[in-house]
Amino acid sequence: MTVRFGAQSTTDDVLEGVDLAGKHVLITGVSAGLGVETARALLAHGACVTGAVRDLDKAHRATEAARASAASGADLDLIALDLASLSSVRTCADALVSAGHPFDIVIANAGVMACPKGTTADGFETQFGTNHLGHFLFVNRIAGLIKAGGRLVNLSSAGHRFADVDLEDPNFERTPYEEFIAYGRSKTANILFAVEFDRRHKARGVRAAAVHPGGIQTELGRHMTPETVAAMIRRIGADQGALAPQFQWKSIPQGAATTLWAAITAPAADVGGRYCEDCHVAEVVDGGQLRGGVRPYALDAERAKALWALSETLVGERF
Nearest CA-CA partner of 186 in 130, 140, 236 = 130
Residue 316 lies in a domain: no
Nearest CA-CA partner of 107 in 203, 12, 61, 41 = 41
pLDDT at 287 over 60: yes
Residue 319 lies in a domain: no
In the chain, the number of structural domains is 1
Mind listing the pLDDT tens digit for each residue in 264-286?
999 999 999 999 999 999 999 98
Do the Cβ atoms of 203 and 148 come closer than 8 Å? no
Do the Cβ atoms of 126 and 114 come closer than 8 Å? no
Is 156 part of the annotated catalytic residue set? yes
Residue 6 lies in a domain: no
CATH number at residue 205: 3.40.50.720
Give the separation between CA 138 and CA 141, rounded to whole angstroms.
5
Mind listing the pLDDT tens digit for each residue in 144-195?
999 999 999 999 999 999 999 999 999 999 999 999 999 999 999 999 999 9
Amino acid, single-letter form, for residue 141: R
Given the residues 85, 156, 157, 186, the one annotated as active site: 156
| Per-chain mean pLDDT for the chain | 92
CA dihedral 177, 182, 185, 188 (to 10 degrees): -160
Residue 315 lies in a domain: no
Residue 40 lies in a domain: yes
Residue 1 lies in a domain: no
Nearest CA-CA partner of 165 in 131, 134, 138 = 131
| Dihedral-angle region of residue 168 (phi above 0 means left; psi in -120 to 50 means alpha; beta otherwise) | alpha
Residue 2 lies in a domain: no
| Domain interval for residue 50 | 11-309
Residue 61 lies in a domain: yes
Phi, psi of 4 (to 5 degrees): -115, 140
Considering the entire predicted model, what is its pTM?
0.91
Is 305 part of the annotated catalytic residue set? no
Given the residues 9, 85, 88, 187, the one annotated as active site: 187
Given the residues 9, 85, 88, 183, the one annotated as active site: 183
3 state SS of 165? coil
Mind listing the pLDDT tens digit for each residue in 43-100?
999 999 999 999 999 999 999 999 999 999 999 999 999 999 999 999 999 999 999 9
Is 275 part of the annotated catalytic residue set? no
Mind listing the pLDDT tens digit for each residue in 212-230?
999 887 666 555 567 665 6
